[in-house]
Amino acid sequence: MPRSTLICYGELLLRLGAPGRQTLLQTPALEVHVGGAEANVAVSLARMGHRVGMAGTVADNALGAHALGELRRHGVDTRHVRVAPGRMGLYFLETGAGHRPSDVLYDRADSAFTRAAALDWAACLEGARWLHLSGVTPALGDACAQAAIEAAEAAVAAGVQVSFDGNFRAKLWEAWDSDPPAILRRLMATATVLFADHRDMAVVLGADCDAADVAGKVVQAAGHAFEAFPRLRYFACTQRVQHDVDHHELSAMLVERDGRVHATPVHALRNVVDRIGGGDAFAAGVLHGLLEEAPAGEALQFGLAAACLKHSIPGDFNLVGRGDVEHFLSAEGFHVRR
């Protein structure tokens, strides 16, 4: 099998969700999906035709085997995912309705991944052009934070470009004696592409973004990021307005180091099926554009279209291909494709 163009590093998870819009254990049944921020990106890019590999560790049991099988089913190379004693990380999802928001309950402590986070990065990165990481991994504990930093710095040393998604998870950081700004600064300093917004820069850099509107705040945040991180070339994020759990409006911005600002139109998302993984779908879409050497504005449009489509698909993975996203962008409407 040829080497992967892009490697995603992080924890594979099982998501246990209450059926429909029920509260957890309202009835004694749970729906199971495989997910994880980095795995979501890997699956999206593989389905768009890229050579993508996953790196990490899963439990040496039927749950770990199932998670690996799901990645392989979607075309992701798993040669760098180790199998080790321990448990799979879990999270429980209660999907909201109307004005009741969705809620996540994590059960990830002492998983096989957190117990064996470090990998042989010379082997994992051989032949790769990109490494994708997110802020979820360092939030899992000191060993995971050090492993993520080691991965990112090994990529820089090997001439591999780093994509980093801030993905700030307060519940995970608060579970241990952590220093999120210091850890995230080291990781963001390695990135060519940073998926973050003005709230992330407030946490990581203590940056004051006081513009009158969100777009202005994003431009200010990007400026702070470019000043702090000399390797950074692209700063991208989505903007979401929620009228209720089922009705959102989504748009996106990308700022380049030279000051060029790209923005998308606003898309109305009504009857949202599942928003989990939407940000990962956006990141994957933008990375797809960059891997295809598309102009930054086109990469942004593709990323937002992928994110919009993800909201129509149950589960963490965005099960669309390049053609589906291109059809969305063509504005050909919603007629049945025959």
- The active-site residue out of 110, 280, 316, 324 is 280
CA distances to 106, 314, 328 from 331, in Å:
39, 23, 6
Query: Helix/strand/coil (H, E, C) string of 236-289?
Result: EEEEEEEEECCEEEEEEEEEECCCCEEECCCEEEECCCCCCCHHHHHHHHHHHH
Given a contact cutoff of 8 angstroms between Cβ atoms, the answer to whether 192 and 163 are in contact is: yes
What is the rounded distance in angstroms from the CA atom of residue 229 to the CA atom of residue 206? 14
DSSP string, 112-151: HHHHS----HHHHTTT-SEEEEETTTGGG-HHHHHHHHHH
Given a contact cutoff of 8 angstroms between Cβ atoms, the answer to whether 291 and 272 are in contact is: no
Termini Cα distance of the chain? 35
DSSP state of 109: T
DSSP state of 60: S
Instruction: Answer yes or no: 280 catalytic.
Output: yes
Distance of CA 231 to the CA centre of its chain: 20
Known catalytic residues are 280
